[in-house]
Amino acid sequence: MGARNTYQILVFLSCILLFGLMSTTSLEVVIDEAKETLERICPGVVSCAYIIAFAARDASYFLGRISYEIPSGRLDGRVSIAYEVLKSLPAASHNLTVVKALFAAQGLSAEDVVALSGAHSIGLSQCSSFTTRLYPTIDPTMDQGFGSFLRTKCPQNANDDGVVPQDFVTPKKLDNQYYHNVADLKGLFFSDWSLMTSGETVNLLNDFRTKPELFEAKFGESMVKMGNIGGTQGEIRKTCRATHLSLPSSLSLNHLSVVLIDYQMGARNTYQILVFLSCILLFGALSTTSLEVGYYRKCKTCFQAEQLVKAVVHKYVAMDPGVGAGLIRMFFHDCFVRGCDASVLLDSSPLNPNPEKLSPTNNPSLRGFEVIDEAKATLERVCPGVVSCADIIAFAARDASYFLGRISYEIPSGRLDGRVSNADEVLKSLPAAFHNLTVVKALFAAQGLSAEDVVALSGAHSIGFSHCSSFTSRLYPTIDPTMDQGFGSFLRTKCPQNANDDGVVPQDFVTPKKLDSQYYQNVADLKGLFFSDWSLLTSGETVNLVNAFRTTPKLFEAKFAESMVKMGNIGGTQGEIRKTCRAVNY
């Protein structure tokens, strides 16, 4: 589905409520002209989504004589949101694990990944999509002669962003040459090379490289399969660049903006939308707020809210410092998905069977839920219905930072608890241990956070434990050359290959129970557990920050605190005060 703002979402909902019009059943110029032609012949019959699918099929034939039939009958959506693009589409900088996960989220397989990657045999790419593989040194996963050649096409610090063919051998033909390029380490993108990192995809790559007709057949199959994703709800647009219904002037915006934002970010079906909408219209259940330091100190019955949370956190961290690490991680995982709204705390329910906490990223590794439960229960006894679960998470992470590292800071409060929690959104939103710096920075930037925030908040890897599965791809079959080889050999003793259980190790073996700057020394010594840790050394800006935090502990502490406060300002201003942190109010 798709609208840019609350106004367009209101249009969509008004259609459902009033008319039931939604059915369930410079390339833009090409689509525009095709649409205009069809509208002259049979107006209001052929959707723009249908035209895109036909155009892609026809382009495949004209460029590569790849022929296939594609099902039709798609409808045009009414919602289009820019921030969903980064979370949903594979990027040139993604590794195979990320690419496969994004494809799997759409019901597509590893075979589809390899087959559809063959489209990189045609078209042009901007230099900025791959220059991180050329400078300051040529990526060792790229043929060095090819990298030197690309440097002549894409000079460092050029005034404009040049373009080059994605395939220099047969640049105007959709064929299997791409797979030869990848095998020869002459693919432009890191994602191209990543196809060489799995036995399954290597086998497919070699099959497509040696059997052109197999590639053509599988490419056609995967295009059809991709074309079956969604497209069954919407309208037939009159023009492909805009939806064609207007908002009835009698429909008020006063009570709808909050619920519509929630719809935009996740309501599953018309029934839920209507139920939730009726609640807002009748009771005004959701509200908005702004954040401020000492928010609860103004409340006569709840002025000690922060101290009560701190006491609970101290009790648990004193028993197990790992719980403190879990609380810091919980704050991070909450804020990066839907903002700091305690959506990570919601349990599965009949209306929401797959919340964030059930995502493989969170389950079973995320810790500290019992701390939040006890803090909430304590506060509900003293001042019921006043302190949000989202604020409790923020306070708990702040207090854990103090007890583990004597890092002290004030954090604004006044957050509200969200009503939507979707496990499918977690992988798209959170940086992962296997991400490179480009991906991590992009995910932080999507939340309004900087490269400095990336480096500062990565310091939380100085505390807590990690499952072996988060980094064993760096140990087997050979130790990653970006890891100290002695450290890698040591980790192999802790995380043996093909072990029956997924072991855990400290994220920092030097000061495992202290939140401090030792992490940055570990990174500089190539003794970080994760690929994302090492990736901080791949940019001059982040290397300088690593060295600054490594040599000046007080600077790290100050910047860590600043970044925690900054992260705490992501969202969390719309919702409710839950009665219990594990369920929304009904």
Band of pLDDT at residue 27, cut at 50, 70 and 90: low
Mean pLDDT of the chain: 85
Superfamily of domain 92-222: Peroxidase, domain 2 (1.10.420.10)
Considering 120, 180, 333, 435, which one is annotated as catalytic? Answer: 333
Query: Considering the chain, what percentage of its residues have pLDDT values greater than 90?
Result: 68
pTM for this one?
0.57
Is 431 flagged in the annotation as binding?
Answer: yes
pLDDT in tens, 162-186: 999 999 999 999 999 999 999 999 9
pLDDT in tens, 81-137: 665 676 788 888 888 988 888 898 888 999 999 999 999 999 999 999 999 999 999
3-class SS letters over 38-94: HHHHCCCCCCHHHHHHHHHHHHHHHHHCCCCCCCCCCCECCCCCCHHHHHHCCCCCC
Better pLDDT: 10 or 497: 497
Query: Domain spanning 295-426 has what CATH number?
Result: 1.10.520.10
Mean pLDDT in residue range 274-293: 47
pLDDT in tens, 521-573: 999 999 999 999 999 999 999 999 999 999 999 999 999 999 999 999 998 88
Closest-CA residue to 74 (of 231, 230, 235): 231
Q: Amino acid identity of 47?
A: S
Is 356 flagged in the annotation as binding?
Answer: yes
- Residue 273 has a pLDDT of 34
- Return the domain boundaries, the chain: 92-222, 257-286, 295-426, 433-566
- Residue 138 has a pLDDT of 94
Same CATH topology for 92-222 and 295-426: the answer is no
Closest-CA residue to 77 (of 236, 307, 301, 225): 236
pLDDT in tens, 216-273: 999 999 999 998 988 777 889 999 998 864 333 333 333 333 333 333 333 333 333 3
Query: Domain spanning 433-566 has what CATH number?
Result: 1.10.420.10
DSSP 8-state code for residue 194: G
Is 244 flagged in the annotation as binding?
Answer: no
- Residue 328 has a pLDDT of 97
Residue spans of beta strands (DSSP E) within 316-473: 465-467
3-state secondary structure of 583: strand
**Annotation says 333 is catalytic:** yes
DSSP 8-state code for residue 539: S
Is 79 flagged in the annotation as binding?
Answer: no
